[in-house]
Copies of this chain bind each other. A is one copy, B any other.
Amino acid sequence: MPRYRITIEYDGRGFVGWQRQKNGLGVQQALEEAVLGFSGEEVTVFGAGRTDSGVHAAAQVAHFDLNSEPRADTVRDAVNFHVKPHPVSVLMARVAEDGFDARLSATSRSYRYLIVNRRAPLTFGRGLMWRVAVALDAAAMNEAAKVLLGRHDFTTFRAVKCQAISPVKTLDRLEVARDGEAITITARARSFMHHQVRNMVGTLKLVGEGKWTTADVRSALHAKDRAKGGPTAPACGLYLSRVDY
């Protein structure tokens, strides 16, 4: 019974998120139905990251088991054929190594958050990035981001409904870089809590517009109180961009 490992890209608009849910289509369900469509097998597709509604993936990783043993390239093409017309695409498929689990074996997850910093509304970027009209100081945001690096209790940046057992996480990377009107925030950790990246981005935005200082970010972190953090940045700018094993 081979296990397949797939790398997936998707446009989060129109999905209720990664997970199968009753109130709409999850990416997971779209993939499970595509696998059923070509193999006749009912599988569960396990993903490395449970992205929220409206959040995109440039390289989500998932696995599933089949009784049949199609070639990995066939799996890639057949899932892509059957998953149409949903905006989900299998970039790569391969037979997983023994013991591989997309969620449990992951050693780090990387997200990127795209801000377009301009006054003009978005056109082709609608739903794919966060437009912030007020001028942001990306260098100040990048400085403040350093406060969050390392091992901390991230309760301040955790959704109230988050089900993680511990709020202590280690943030390995948090960088803010500007290229013209585009500001990209890159975050990497073994794992993140619910809304953690979006809550950190919403807080760094306060620094970018000069309302908060680096010291304010430090105080908010130490308060371990979600009410002391900045607002949650919208889902549309967030991409699960990489999973390492």
Q: Please report the C-alpha to C-alpha distance between residue A91 and residue B118 in the assembled complex, in whole angstroms.
A: 8
| Chain A window 90-121, contacts with chain B (Cβ cutoff 8 Å), 1 for yes, 0 for no | 11100000000000000000000000001111
Partner of A88 from the list B87, B118, B123, B128 (CB cut-off 8 Å) is B123
**C-alpha gap A80/B80 in the complex (Å):** 38
Which residues 76-91 in A have Cβ within 8 Å of B in the complex? 76-77, 80, 84, 87-91
| A89 in contact with B11 (CB, 8 Å) | no
Report yes or no: B56 in contact with A124, Cβ–Cβ below 8 A. Answer: yes
The answer to whether B123 touches A9, judged by C-beta atoms less than 8 angstroms apart, is yes
Interface size on A, residues (CB 8 A): 23
The answer to whether A89 and B9 have CB atoms under 8 Å apart is no
Q: Is A215 part of the contact surface with B, judged by Cβ < 8 Å?
A: no
| A90-B124 in contact (CB<8A) | no
- The answer to the question of A135 belonging to the interface, with a C-beta cut-off of 8 Å to chain B, is no
Task: State A10–B121 Cα separation when bound (angstroms).
Answer: 10
A126 within 8 A of B: yes
* 20 new A-B contacts at CB < 8 Å, known A10-B123, A11-B124, A89-B121: A9-B120, A9-B123, A9-B124, A10-B124, A11-B123, A11-B126, A56-B123, A56-B124, A77-B119, A80-B121, A87-B123, A87-B124, A87-B126, A88-B123, A89-B120, A89-B122, A90-B120, A91-B118, A91-B120, A92-B120
